[in-house]
Amino acid sequence: MGKTTGFLEYQRIESMAKEPLERINDYNEFHVPLSDEQRREQASRCMDCGVPFCQNGKMLCGMVSGCPLNNLIPEWNDLIYHGQKEQALERLLMTNNFPEFTSRVCPALCEKACICGVYDSPVTVKENENSIIEYGFEKGIIAPQPPAVRSGKKVAVIGSGPSGLAAADTLNKRGHSVTVFERSDRVGGLLMYGIPNMKLEKHIIERRAELMKAEGVQFVTNANVGGDISASEITENFDAVVLACGSSNPRDIKAEGRDANGIYFAVDFLKATTKSLLDSDLTDGKYISAKDKNVVIIGGGDTGNDCVGTSVRHGCKSVTQLEMMPKLPDERAENNPFPQYPRVCKTDYGQEEAIAVFGHDPRIYETTVKEFIKDEKGDLAAVKTVKLEFGTDPETGRRTMKEIEGSEQTLPCELCLIAAGFLGSQSYVAEAFGVELDGRTNVKTEVNKHSTSVNKIFTAGDMHIGQSLVVRAIREGRDAAAEVDEYLMGYTNLK
C-alpha cells in the first residue's frame, strides 16, 4: 500500500448527512460528498492486511461475509490514495457492472468484513466506490462502448431489476443481441420502484439505461411476459431466455379483520409514491397517502424502514414499526465472531427521521398484529397487537414462538403497511415457460447453476435464490450470463 500507516493516522470520516428535520422536506438523496483530499485520506486507511476478507464474498453461518462481486477493494483504494482515479475505475468495473447502484443501496458487506474494523472502524469502502464511479460519469470517461462484433445470437431477459440488467449488460458486451422485457412502465424493477428516491435517485437508473441503449441493449416496457406476451413468442424468437423477475410474492399477515380498507403491502405503497413522484411530483394524488394518519408498519427490515421514512415525508400523524424478533445486540455477540456478518442493531435513516419528528424510536420488538379493527364503514381504525415469547423445541431444536397471554394492546391505525418479506417469485411466469419451482417457489436449478429444467431457459437473481441484496443480484446476473454465453457459443470467457 502507498500509505502503510494510513489506518493509524486517520480516523474514519463519512460523508455528512443532512439533518433529519431538513431532509424530510424532499425525496432527494441527502449525503454531501467529502473533498478529494479527504477521500484520499479515507482510502489510505485500507490496510495491507494480507487476507482481504472484504472481497471474499462467501457464506458464513447463512450470511454473506465480504463482497459477493469480489470487488478488488484494496487495489482501487490504493489507486484512489495515489490520485489515479481512472485506473481505479478500470479495476472497479472489472467486477461490478453498476457501482452507482451498489455504492448507494448496498449494506456494505465489504465494510463488515474489513480487518481495520476489528479493533477500530472499517474503511469507507462504499463511499470510496461511489466516488470512483461518479468521477467516471462526471469526467465523461464512462461512455457508450458497443461491441465491435456481434455473435448473431439473440437473448431475451425477462425483468429489468439488478440481476436482469447485469445479465443484459454482460451478454451485450460479449456481442450477443439482448432485449430486456419489463412489465412496468419504467426500467429498473426493484431499483426503480422498490427502493425510495432518497436512497437511489431515479435519474441514476435512467442514466445507466440510456448508456446500455447506446451500447445496443433494447428495452421493452409495459411488457408482461407470461401475460400479455406469450412465453412461446419469446422462445421462438430468441436463442436463450433469462428469467429475472424477482421475488415479488409478498408475505401476508393472516389476522382477523385483514379485509379492512387501509391495509397495503409495503411494495405497493413504495411503488405508488415513487411513480407519482416521477410522474407529477406527487401532484396527481395517485399514491397511498400517509398524511395525517396513524401508520403501523409490520416488519423490521430495510423495507419497513423505507416505509417509515416515506410515511414521515408524507406527513403522517404517527408511525410505529412492529418487529416480531427480539432486538439485536448493539455490539457483536460472542457467537457472532468476525468475519461473520455482524448481527447487531442499527438505526437507519427512516428511524432517525421518526425519532427527530416524534421524539422516540418507532420500533416495538417481539410484537405482531393479532387483529385489524374496522369502523362501521369497513375502514381500518386500529390494530390489536400482542407480545411474543421465543423458546426452543426440545425435540427438534427449532426456535418456537407463542403469544404472551394478556399482553394485547390496541394502537390507533388508519394505514397499515405489511413489510414482512417475500415468499418467492410470482408463479405465472415460471408456469408460462414450464420451468420447475422449488419448495420456496423459486425457480429450481442444480446447485450453483442457472439453467432450468427447460432447454435454453435460464434464471437469475431473487427469482432464483429468493429475496436478497442488490449486490447478490448483480452477481447472479453475471454468473447467469456466463452460463448463457457458454450455452450459445460452446465456451465462455466471462467467468
pLDDT digits (tens, 9 = 90+) for 68-87: 999 999 999 999 999 999 99
Give CA separation, 475 vs 19, 53, 157, 453, in Å. Answer: 34, 17, 16, 22
Any idea of the CA torsion for 107, 112, 114, 120, to the nearest 10 degrees? 120
Among candidates 76, 86, 80, which has minimal Cα distance to 35? 80
pLDDT of res. 395: 84
| Average pLDDT estimate for 84-99 | 98
Per-residue burial over 313-338, b = 16 or more CB atoms within 10 Å of its CB, e = otherwise: bbebebbbbbbbeeebeeeeeeebeb
Categorize the per-residue pLDDT at 392 as very low, low, confident or very high, splitting at 50, 70 and 90: confident
The architecture of the domain spanning 6-138 is: Orthogonal Bundle (1.10)
Strand partners for 173: none
Categorize the per-residue pLDDT at 272 as very low, low, confident or very high, splitting at 50, 70 and 90: very high
What letter does residue 191 receive in the DSSP assignment? Answer: I
- Are 297 and 304 within 8 A, CB to CB? yes
Categorize the per-residue pLDDT at 440 as very low, low, confident or very high, splitting at 50, 70 and 90: confident
What ranges do the domains of the chain cover? Answer: 6-138, 154-248+423-489, 252-420
The CATH class, in words, for 252-420 is alpha beta
Indicate the pTM of the whole model: 0.96
For the chain, how many helices (H) and strands (E)?
Answer: 18, 20
The architecture of the domain spanning 154-248+423-489 is: 3-Layer(bba) Sandwich (3.50)
pLDDT in tens, 276-322: 999 999 999 999 999 999 999 999 899 999 999 999 999 999 999 99
- Are 189 and 267 within 8 A, CB to CB? no
| Average pLDDT estimate for 43-62 | 91
Burial of 456 (0-12, 13-18, 19+ CB in 10 A): middle
Same fold, 6-138 and 154-248+423-489: no
pLDDT of res. 1: 64
pLDDT of res. 398: 87
Q: List, in sequence order, the alpha helices (H) in 281-335.
A: 302-314
Distance CA 6, CA 288 (A): 49
